[in-house]
Amino acid sequence: MKIYYQISYFVIGLLIFSYGISLSIKVRYLGIHPWDVLNIALFEKFGLTIGTWNIIVGVTLIAGTLLLKGRYIHIGTILNGVLVGMLVDFFLYYNLLPPKTGLMTDLLILLSAILMMGVGGGLYSAAHLGTGPRDGFMLTISDLTGLTISRVRIICECTVLLIGLFLSGPVFIFTFIYTFIQSPIFQKSFLFFTERLHSRFPARSDISM
């Protein structure tokens, strides 16, 4: 029975997270998440698609997590690394997004995107089927250093932002505050949904992180 809840957490979280990324890219002139700054910079310099670069970067982070002997790599991590990129390309290609109508509306879209990415990321990570490549890498760093998840996310994403800037990625004011808003949302979401799952199924986990 527990596995059905885990799969539900994973799938719903993945959809919410991917749609949040697509929303933010829609209004990227306001500033986007550091990881997406990097993906768009790579897309503009070398071609392919934004989703494809999302997958390539994800695979690289999975390799890094394995080298650090992180315990967050499972089949769900591989699926996440592939499906997020595919879903982002799908939402963008078919334009399944609200239209840009003005600054205030676009600000609401961006804030919604930040909220969705934080909640969605925490939800699929709490499924214990394997975190996303980025989250698994950062959770591994948190385990190794003893720093909070939120602080590690801020450090990693600031580093990624610098790389994106070097590659002339799209950066504006919200890019610099994105991490400071989303990271606490991710942490609270991850802890909340993990507790809900464990309280419903207090026995030994079928799949441990």
Lowest mean pLDDT across 14-18, 96-100, 163-167, 180-184: 180-184
pLDDT at 204: 53
Cα–Cα distances (Å) from 189 to 69, 110, 158, 172, 195, in that order, read 25, 19, 21, 27, 10
pLDDT at 209: 40
Q: Using 50, 70 and 90 to split pLDDT, how confident is the model at 147?
A: confident
DSSP state of 30: G
Please report which residue ranges of the chain form alpha helices under DSSP H: 2-26, 34-46, 50-67, 75-93, 103-126, 133-145, 149-166, 173-200
The answer, yes or no, to whether residue 126 has pLDDT greater than 60, is yes
Would you mind telling me the total number of residues written for the chain in this entry? 209
The answer, yes or no, to whether residue 111 has pLDDT greater than 50, is yes
Query: Counting beta carbons within 10 angstroms of the beta carbon of residue 156, is it exposed (0 to 12), middle (13 to 18) or buried (19 or more)?
Result: buried
Share of the chain above pLDDT 90, in %: 37
